[in-house]
């Protein structure tokens, strides 16, 4: 099996590449990544010398580069992770989000169609369902109600991907996962940001009242689910992937402070995110029924091992927090205190 993974230098993609080679899901993995601010080859250090691994620095919007790569490599399957993935960045600056998430996905789908690639997994998000009223949980038939430029771009790319099944019979499945956490996550997202700020005893910026609810999925559980869809998922189908762990943000932050032994006085209320979705909730029932997959990691265990990783990898954190990160932090958090 030869896999072509897009966005394999990012948080989830790099976890998938490491697992695919270490667990022998595939003999060969080609990692196509543009290395944006979120792409980091350090994430691939554990498999960098693997004989079946190849890295290609490329923009998924570069149609001739993508076409050449597909023609040369002829992968058995494409796992498409590459995206601009942060909601706050999509609010400050929507253009790269639209370009990569929509045009980039289109470029890959066209290359897959022209080269008759036999399997394509489009990795998407539960954010496409928008805010869900309790006690409901979104299944795959829920309407799309995207709130941010990020979630709208993902909803659009989901529809485009599914159209390639309907029209061209491309063997494509779409996965929609909830909030991931784990090692190597860029510290712009809630859990790694709060862990790294707590470890440095910096303020923990909570948007609004902190009662927004997210479902938390350990990144390795997510990658196992994608593999299950790759092997057993049906063409033209959507599969939700959740961690069965719904928590309000403030509860997550309090658990981080408790686990790191830092005071709750670090919690700082800041102005809410515009268009902020109140609650995400989804059911895994279809994926479990069709593939047997279930999330394995208990949240407190996953959080403890994630905190441990960030404590042991302060150099990694310092390197990614230098340069561009500081500009983003200033842009997103300055003048926001309530
Ligand atoms: P990330 O931001 O950590 O990594 C994205 C990767 O894509 C980076 O390596 C980046 O360099 C690469 N990339 C960006 N633009 C590119 C382009 N134009 N060409 C080639 N490469 C490009 O993202 P992540 O959190 O690992 O998310 C991966 C995927 O999973 C995304 O599609 C995201 O929408 C989806 N997802 C994420 C979560 C989450 O909680 N993080 C949850 C559900 C779904
Ligand atoms: O649900 C899946 C989605 O989860 C993915 O598709 C996205 O790629 C990923 O970024 C994530 O989106 P969220 O917006 O839910 O994640 P984020 O970590 O940015 O925020 C989680 C919650 O925490 C959200 O309610 C906003 C809040 N938050 C976030 C940050 C960064 C804060 O209160 N303070 C913060 O500083």
Q: What is the pLDDT along the chain (338 residues), one digit of tens a residue?
A: 999 999 999 999 999 999 999 999 999 999 999 999 999 999 999 999 999 999 999 999 999 999 999 999 999 999 999 999 999 999 999 999 999 999 999 999 999 999 999 999 999 999 999 999 999 999 999 999 999 999 999 999 999 999 999 999 999 999 999 999 999 999 999 999 999 999 999 999 999 999 999 999 999 999 999 999 999 999 999 999 999 999 999 999 999 999 999 999 999 999 999 999 999 999 999 999 999 999 999 999 999 999 999 999 999 999 999 889 999 999 999 988 77
Ligand 1 pocket member 179 (CB < 6 A): yes
Would 283 be classed as within a structural domain?
no
Helix residue ranges per DSSP H, the chain: 11-22, 63-73, 87-92, 94-98, 105-114, 149-168, 190-199, 219-232, 249-260, 285-291, 299-312, 314-320, 324-333
Closest CA to 89 of 189, 6, 204, 217: 189
What is the rounded distance in angstroms from the CA atom of residue 174 to the CA atom of residue 205?
33
Ligand 1 pocket member 226 (CB < 6 A): no
301 assigned to active site: no
Give me the pLDDT at residue 337, please: 78
Quick one: CA dihedral 90, 95, 96, 98, positive or negative?
Answer: positive
How many angstroms separate the Cα of 19 from the Cα of each of 58, 170, 172, 274?
A: 22, 26, 22, 36
What is the rounded distance in angstroms from the CA atom of residue 139 to the CA atom of residue 131?
13
How many domains, the chain?
Answer: 2
DSSP code, position 138: B
Query: Which residue in 59, 73, 84, 127 is the catalytic one?
Result: 127
Specify the CATH number for the domain of residue 58: 3.40.50.720
Would 285 be classed as within a structural domain?
no
Would 293 be classed as within a structural domain?
no
Give me the pLDDT at residue 338, please: 73
Specify the CATH number for the domain of residue 267: 3.90.25.10
Would 144 be classed as within a structural domain?
yes
Looking at the fold, whether 16 and 121 belong to one and the same domain comes out as yes
Looking at the fold, whether 13 and 117 belong to one and the same domain comes out as yes
Give me the pLDDT at residue 197, please: 98
Looking at the fold, whether 157 and 205 belong to one and the same domain comes out as no
Looking at the fold, whether 205 and 135 belong to one and the same domain comes out as no
Looking at the fold, whether 97 and 66 belong to one and the same domain comes out as yes
Looking at the fold, whether 207 and 224 belong to one and the same domain comes out as no
Looking at the fold, whether 63 and 82 belong to one and the same domain comes out as yes
Looking at the fold, whether 163 and 193 belong to one and the same domain comes out as no
Give me the pLDDT at residue 112, please: 98
Ligand 1 pocket member 217 (CB < 6 A): no
Looking at the fold, whether 29 and 9 belong to one and the same domain comes out as yes
Looking at the fold, whether 83 and 176 belong to one and the same domain comes out as yes
Looking at the fold, whether 91 and 223 belong to one and the same domain comes out as yes
- Which structural domain, as residue segments, surrounds residue 58? 2-180+216-241
Nearest atom (ligand 1) to Cα of 80 = 32
> Under DSSP, is residue 28 helix (H, G, I), strand (E, B) or coil?
strand
């Amino acid at each position: 099996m030869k896999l072509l993974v897009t966005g394999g230098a990012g948080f989830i993609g790099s976890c998938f590449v490491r697992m695919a080679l270490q667990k022998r899901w595939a003999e060969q993995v080609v990692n196509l990544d543009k290395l944006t601010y979120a792409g980091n080859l350090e994430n691939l250090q554990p498999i960098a010398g693997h004989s079946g691994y190849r890295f290609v620095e490329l923009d998924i919007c570069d149609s001739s580069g993508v076409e050449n790569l597909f023609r040369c490599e002829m992968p058995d399957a494409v796992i498409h992770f590459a995206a601009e993935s942060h909601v706050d960045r999509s609010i400050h600056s929507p253009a790269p989000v639209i370009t990569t998430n929509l045009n980039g996905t289109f470029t890959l789908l066209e290359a897959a169609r022209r080269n008759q690639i036999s399997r394509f997994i489009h990795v998407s998000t539960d954010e496409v369902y928008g805010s869900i009223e309790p006690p409901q949980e979104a299944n795959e038939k829920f309407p799309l109600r995207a709130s941010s430029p990020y979630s709208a771009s993902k909803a659009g790319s989901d529809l485009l991907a599914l159209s390639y099944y309907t029209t061209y019979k491309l063997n494509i499945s779409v996965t929609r996962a909830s909030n991931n956490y784990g090692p190597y996550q860029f510290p712009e997202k809630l859990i790694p940001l709060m862990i790294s700020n707590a470890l440095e005893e910096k303020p923990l910026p909570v948007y609004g009242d902190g009662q927004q609810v997210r479902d938390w999925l350990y990144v390795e559980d997510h990658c196992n689910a994608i593999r299950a869809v790759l092997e057993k998922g049906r063409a033209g189908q959507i599969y939700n992937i959740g961690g069965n762990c719904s928590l309000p943000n403030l509860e997550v932050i309090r658990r981080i402070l408790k686990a790191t032994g830092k005071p709750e006085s670090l919690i700082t209320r800041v102005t809410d995110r515009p268009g902020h979705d109140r609650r995400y909730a989804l059911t895994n029932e279809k994926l479990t029924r069709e593939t047997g997959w279930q999330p394995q990691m208990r949240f407190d265990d996953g959080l403890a091992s994630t905190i441990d990783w960030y404590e042991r990898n302060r150099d990694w954190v310092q390197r990614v927090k230098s340069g561009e990160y500081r500009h983003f932090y200033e842009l997103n958090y300055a003048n926001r205190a309530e």
